[in-house]
Amino acid sequence: MTTTTSGTTTTTTTTIVGRKFDTSSISKLDGDNFRVWKVRMSSLFRSHDLNEIVDGTSTRPAAVGDPQKEWDKRNNEAMTSLYLCMTDAEVESISGCATAHEIWNKLNTMYQSISGESKQVLWQKYYSIMVTSGKSPVKTMIEIQNYAAQLRSMGAVIDDEMEVARIISSMMDEKFRQFREAWRSVEIAKQTSALLLSRLKTWELEDGETYKNASHVEETSKAYAAKKERPKRTRQEISDLKKKTKCHICKLKGHWKSECTFKDKDSAKKEQKSDEKSEGAYMAGGLSDLWINDSGANRHYCGRTD
């Protein structure tokens, strides 16, 4: 705080150097969300006056002293923000970088290469996206627009009219026939992506049941696919498993429900109860004076009354 007095006028200036970086609302970079992640991070850097550090416009001063310390401080702030907004795997991939500018360049090289090969892959994805069963047409539209934005950043020319035509061509299913006809009735000058997005959102609200549980259906199908891919057990593994698990009917180990001799649980319980109530003595061979100390029977009998 600096106070300056001139006559009867006092001027006070307060400089705040501490800054808080709130990155909680930024989804961590996982490799698939680079374009959206980059937009948010760029905005964060601009708001904290770190953009020149990240893009390399501001380099580390050669002279030792306060300017160098200030630059190092700002570079560390930018690097910390990047680390906090990346998954562990992504942090591992850029662990060798010494500055925020090196990290930024490496990520751009990894996920936004302008090579001809990556450009062709983006074109293929751009034209292959279709609205499938259970998939939201609004989400499909956004996905197409994301690929279009990436292609534009590589120099491709895709205007709004071309983008709209591609989105409409992705909805070739019969259930979208009336929607396509209604869209064609709109004046050409008014067929913009903004209007199309509004129409699609309205259409989804009227037909919302189709997409309400889309995520649940997708997870269920993934679980079913994973279940089908489970490797088959060998005979020995099945035999060992039977020894450890109980039958759902008779509750005995050694076999499973499909192999149980009892038809249902009630008959198994009746049989067990009848075994508990019945009493009997069994002897092999003739009478003998030999006393068996522990025969394993629940009651003991002897042929001699004494």
Query: Which pair of structure tokens corresponds to residue 36?
Result: 């959206």
Q: What is the pTM of this model?
A: 0.45
For residue 192 the two structure tokens come to: 């913009």
Q: Which of 3-12, 18-27, 47-56, 104-113 has the highest mean pLDDT?
A: 47-56
The band of 195, judged by pLDDT with boundaries at 50, 70 and 90, is very high
pLDDT at 75: 92
DSSP E strand boundaries for the chain: 2-6, 9-13
3-state class (DSSP) for residue 267? helix
- Tell me the Ramachandran region of residue 239: left when phi exceeds 0, alpha when psi lies from -120 to 50, beta otherwise: alpha
On whether the CB atoms of residues 110 and 125 are closer than 8 A, the answer is no
Average pLDDT, the chain: 77
Task: Give CA–CA dist 180/102, Å, rounded.
Answer: 48
Per-residue pLDDT at 302 exceeds 80: no
* pLDDT given at position 150: 79
Alpha helices by DSSP H, listed for 129-263, are: 137-153, 160-169, 177-184, 193-206, 209-212, 214-228, 235-244
Lowest-pLDDT choice from 82-96, 134-148, 220-234, 238-252:
220-234
Take residue 291 and report the two structure tokens written for it.
């006393």
Q: For position 192, what pLDDT does the model report?
A: 93
**Mean pLDDT (whole number) for 179-206:** 90
- Tokens of residue 80, six digits: 């910390």
Q: What would the two tokens of residue 246 be?
A: 């109980």
Q: How far is CA 287 from CA 151, 271, 281, 284, in A?
A: 99, 31, 13, 9
Tokens, residue 47: 């708001």
Mean pLDDT, range 277-304, rounded to an integer: 60
Residue 69, phi then psi, degrees to nearest 5: -65, -40
Enumerate the domain spans of the chain: 34-111, 116-207, 234-259
Distances (CA, A) of 158 to 108, 131, 144, 167: 22, 21, 11, 13
What are the helix and strand counts (H, E) for the chain? 14, 2
The 8 Å CB, 24+ separation contacts for 88-97 are 89/30, 89/31, 90/28, 90/29, 90/30, 90/31
225 or 100: which carries more pLDDT confidence?
100
The string of pLDDT tens digits covering residues 77-121 is 999 999 999 999 889 988 889 999 999 998 888 776 555 667 888
Of the pLDDT bands very low, low, confident and very high (cuts 50, 70, 90), residue 17 is: very low
Distance CA 298, CA 291 (A): 16
